[in-house]
Chains A and B, each alone.
Chain A
Amino acid sequence: MTVPHKVETDTAAAEVATALRHGPLEHRAAEFERRSASGARGVRLREEPFLTQLDLRTSPGSSSAASVADALGLPLPAANRVSGDEHDAVLWLGPDESLIVAPDGRAESLLRTVRTAQQGGSGSVVDVSANRTTLRLSGPMAREVLEKLCSLDLHPRAFGPGDCAQTLLGRVVVVLWQLDHEPGYRIMVRCSFAEYLADLLLDAMAEFLDG
């Protein structure tokens, strides 16, 4: 006997419910806009809430890992790498841990897909979509901003598009994911830390607003 993990709801009800959601930084969107700067010394910040995120655990090299990759249509990434693109991706979090990322609303279907693929093998998959929100930091000075908070080597020779890391920004644990060369980054942070992290980032961005 198994209690269904999620209650099946009809589509209309789901849409009503969706309108009741709030990203943890929703109320600061205008402030982010105001404190972002464009141009050659620009850097911009915004929230990308509600991304589907599943925490995937598999034994590396196992047949169940292979069938999960098949089912997702994406290879499981090498260490500190991301497979896929910014829409559908798998991020390496550890030797036996990955983060599946997809657009909003895909959690249930992806859970089913992965659980089916894991059937009979070892591993777990857990919906953590609401566990973290995502900040997008981009612009020519984005790396300069992160270098104030993060002790990793973010130089293009060491960290580029498709790289990710679980690391600290200041005193906050995040998943840092570089998307493109601009550079643009996604910073995935547990919701309770989001306000503090936003404060840290805006503080670090301030000198680029001086022009």
Chain B
Amino acid sequence: MTSPSNPNRVNASVRAGRIDRTRTLNATVDGRPVHGRPGDTLASAMLAQGDIEVAPSIQLGRPRGVLSADCTEPNALVQLLDGACPEPMLPTTEIELREGLRAETLSGVGWLSQQRDTAGYDKKFVHTDVVVVGAGPSGIAASLAAARGGARVILVDQHRELGGMLLDGRADIAGHPATEWIGRAARELAENEQVRVLTRSAALGYYDHNYLLVAESRTDHMAVPPPSTSRQRLWHVRAKQVVLATGAHERPVVFADNDRPGVMLASAVRSYLNRYAVLPGREAVVFTTSDSAYSTALDLLGAGARVPAIVDTRPEPSARLVEQVRAAGAHVVTSAAVVATTGQHRISGVRVRGLDDDGSLTGWSSEFSCDLLAVSGGWNPAVQLFAQCGGAVRWDPVVAGFVPRTTGGRSAKVVGSARGTYDLAGCLAQGFAAGAEAATLSGFRTAPPPVPQVDGDRQGSRPRPVWLVPDESRPPERCTEHFVDLQRDATVADMYRATETGMRSVQHVKRYTTISTGLDQGKGSGVNAVGVLAEILAANSPGEVGTTTFRPPYTPVPLALFAGRTRGELYDPVRTTPMHHLHVEAGAVFEDVGQWKRARYYPRGAEDMHAAVLRECAAARTGVAVQDVSTLGRIEIVGPDAPVFLDRIYTNGFAKLAVGKARYGMMCGADGMVLDDGVSMRLAEDRYLMSTTTGGAAKVLDWLEEWLQTEWPDLDVYCTSVTEQWAAVAVVGPDSRTVVGRLAPDLDVSADSFGFMRFHETSLTGGIPARISRVSFSGELAFEVNVPRWYGEALWEATMTAGSDLGITPYGTETMHVLRAEKGFVIVGQDTDGTVTPVDLGMDWAVSKQKDFIGKRSLSRPDLVREDRKQLVGLLPTDTTTLLPEGSHLVEPDVSRQPPVPMLGHVTSSYHSAALERTFALGLISRGQQRFGDVVCVPVDGRDVEVEITSPVFYDPEGVRRDGPAQG
């Protein structure tokens, strides 16, 4: 009847099961072989071999066995060893067996691998009219009804095939086994192109506005996954209507030694037998509080097992059921409970006592030997998703479970056992009705199909839950072997200890005892804990105690799933200019400026940054140098009110700027603090081209739009980002005029014809249209050449060619920083930090006294005219070779170093200068503009560095270099 390696596998003539007996799959657990069939879980394959015992418990080291056949499993946890990365804490009940699977059992704690997870994870965003969670009878019915109405439907289920609990049972639908109905439904759904069925997919979270996250396992069941298919996929689902057919979980019973291997949920026993053709025991006592476990007893008997007793807590179970099991060969003990188990490791027998009406033990007792105890403490509707999205639950004494307080309306429709409806006809009727209503509400009017005739599993009479089976000898506060949460080894005694310290709230007791904090987040233990607490507190019902909060995710998933593809190279956009590859070829070292890659310096040979920057600076000051400035932000500002608008945005005036000219502008926030700066050109009476800092481009456009849209909608002005319409180079140095003259042969570049802060439009050699301006961020003669972006590469190459005989030197951001700092030009965001005004920077000249502008009123606030404000200064270390670390504090030389030491300010920029042949720095220091010549201290690594406060303009203070050498 059975093979020697799989003694518990039932012959196909007794139970076919949902397995493929033509193929064998080989796995290893703790190094020992496990042989199973396609369709097996790791748990069912191990049970087929007779392996019911798993690793010992987490705290107490007690022997434990497989308890469940679903995601509530507390004991049978393993670490997967094969696959891309060892994954911890997976219940064997949820692992599909695959060839080559390797695992080790865990005592409640897994380990994190140091290995990089090379498996793929991705995401998908989908929208639907109706999403149905759970593909049991109710969910299938809901999906069929909604799909027949024409709605877009997504059906989500955790398992590999549709059917839910129907696959565990033996019901008939419309006169045939339920599996036939499931098969027809699955085909109908698969053929409807508006329906998407996601199997092996767990709905993790249900959020506002019918937004759900679903984790799909795509390749774990395959021995050899396709190379480019993600291992798991996170579906972001937005639905008009949500139907929750999430089913129910059976709960265990709390009695002495209820954790012994061989104690198994009655529904799990049934699932192993009917779905997996595995008989977990030959002699099974059934201990129940409701009708459902009678089906387990009948199936066990039908499969040839002995059932020495059905222990029912109820005084009068359904006479029909009692008669049915009696006819099949089992006898029912009523008003009774299992009070103890015996056995070395695995259970070998149970002791049964009578229960009186108030739950106390009565005088009689009885003992039964067994190798399996199928327990049913009742059913917990799986209300987790419903509650996550704000749905309230209530205790329903009739079904003895927490059920949704309301369903339908604006909230999700909850159907079937998820709302405590356990009869198949009722589940189908609710599913059809909810599916049709959901379709109708999303615009696809339809009526529910008729409910087919069903036969088989029937449940009806009221359960009698017993939250705490009294111990035969000990008071409840000493019940240290009545386990409430097996995964946490938490007992009734632990709960008493919590309440004895004064805790009453289930939330506090949960956290104190750690009950429901395990892998299953209380799916198995939560309601039992509520029930026990209700007993301890002498509450009228578990409803008075209430539940803990249900939070996503519904089941654990790897964090890598949430990262999806945004790892490594794809982590964040890398923005490059059209000349980027030329910088790479030139050996540039890059730095990140926002998302941009900008060349920082171009080392030659073995040069370090220091040497390269000194060389690049020298080229810019004595010859000619070139920088890619394509990253600067550019905004075209158009309309008759553009002059007025810019006057209000910038602290200095732009309305009177002549067409053809450019001006440096500074803008402040409403608080008067420097926001951004840049040069704007007037292209026409009604048209300006504003430039912004590289990092400020998006922020400035938002800023302009905010003022236009919310404060000044009367202004006829439009702003358009043209940052990437243009590629640009800055050509800098005394020889720059020669280079630009060669680049633009049609343009008169002489100082007389091409004045500072002027621009011209021309054609470069080769016919490239260009706009050339004379702006300088270095104090040297300099030009900025702008061309449409697709000419960027040609522009760079042409510039390098035009300057080759002059030794034209490409330079990066580091040199740009040094050159501008030598002239005392600030960089917004480096020398300012949101607390600095233009006046603090000594740029009063750029702050108009005549006109109004954003921030003007703030600039006259008492705090902003305080004399001791920090002001921009130059800093020269007495030792000309000492480089001050940026960010260093400035203190008085004679001040005590006992904290708190008064801080005068800090260093904002600090460099070596080729032109000055020394180090120098910029800084912000209190009363700085009155302190030129003073010496202050910068503590560096426990040593004081003396620095002299100077004007921030170190180089060419007269500005004679701006127009370049006189032309000969």
Contact = CB atoms under 8 A, between A and B. Distances in A.
A26 to B, nearest CB: 9
Contact of B761 (A7, A126, A190, A193): A7
Given A7-B763, A7-B769, A129-B725, 7 more contacts: A9-B769, A13-B763, A21-B790, A126-B638, A126-B720, A128-B722, A200-B565
The 4 A-B residue pairs with the shortest CB-CB distance in the complex, in nearest-first order:
A13-B767, A124-B638, A17-B767, A153-B127
B788 interface: yes
Nearest to A17: B767
A200 B570 CA distance: 7
Contacts of B759: 3
A127 B725 contact: yes
Contacts of B761: 3-7
Contacts of A155: 126-127, 152
A193 B659 contact: no
B574 A196 contact: yes
B226 interface: yes
A52 B815 CA distance: 37
Interface in A115-174: 122-124, 126-132, 147-148, 150-153, 155, 157-158, 170-172
B121 to A, nearest CB: 11
Interface in A167-211: 170-172, 190-193, 195-197, 199-200, 203-204, 206-207, 209-210
Contact of A192 (B576, B581, B722): B576
Nearest to B572: A171
Interface string B715-737: 01010111111100000000000
B684 interface: yes
B127 A195 contact: no
A100 to B, nearest CB: 13
A40 interface: no
Interface of B: 122-127, 152, 226-230, 236, 238, 565-566, 569-570, 572-578, 581, 596, 631, 636, 638-640, 659-660, 683-685, 716, 718, 720-726, 759, 761-763, 766-769, 788-794
A172 B573 contact: yes
B790 A16 contact: no
A175 B424 CA distance: 50
B596 A192 contact: yes
Given A129-B725, A153-B238, A147 B720 contact: no
Contacts of B716: 122
15 contacts: A3-B684, A7-B761, A16-B766, A21-B794, A24-B578, A122-B640, A126-B722, A129-B725, A129-B788, A130-B790, A131-B724, A147-B124, A150-B125, A151-B125, A171-B572
B570 A199 contact: yes
Contacts of A200: 565, 570
A210 B575 contact: no
A7 B762 CA distance: 6
B566 A170 contact: yes
Contacts of B127: 153, 155, 158
Contacts of B228: 206-207, 209-210
Contacts of B722: 126, 128, 131
B147 to A, nearest CB: 14
Interface in A1-31: 1-7, 9, 13-17, 20-24, 27
Interface of A: 1-7, 9, 13-17, 20-24, 27, 49-50, 55, 57, 96, 122-124, 126-132, 147-148, 150-153, 155, 157-158, 170-172, 190-193, 195-197, 199-200, 203-204, 206-207, 209-210
A55 B767 contact: no
Contacts of A1: 659-660, 685
**Which secondary structure dominates where chain A touches chain B?**
loop
A22 B578 contact: yes
B790 A196 contact: no
Nearest to B761: A7
Nearest to A151: B125
Contact of B724 (A9, A130, A157, A171): A130
A124 B122 contact: no
- Chain B interface helix/strand/loop/mixed: mixed
A28 to B, nearest CB: 12
A191 B573 contact: no
Contact of A2 (B227, B638, B659): B659
A148 B767 contact: no
B592 to A, nearest CB: 13
Nearest to B716: A122
A170 B716 CA distance: 35
B768 A17 contact: yes
A144 to B, nearest CB: 8
B466 to A, nearest CB: 49
B824 to A, nearest CB: 31
Contacts of B723: 131, 190
Contacts of A150: 125
Given A55-B720, A57-B718, A206-B228, A131 B725 contact: yes
Contact of A50 (B575, B725, B790): B790
Nearest to B793: A22
Nearest to B573: A196
B712 to A, nearest CB: 14
Contact of B575 (A148, A151, A192): A192
A196 B789 CA distance: 18
A126 B636 contact: yes
Contacts of A207: 226, 228-230
A9 B766 CA distance: 11
A57 B715 CA distance: 14
Contacts of B793: 22
B563 to A, nearest CB: 13
Contacts of A14: 767
B788 A20 contact: no
A178 to B, nearest CB: 15
B126 A147 contact: yes
Nearest to B639: A124
A22 B575 contact: no
A210 B226 contact: yes
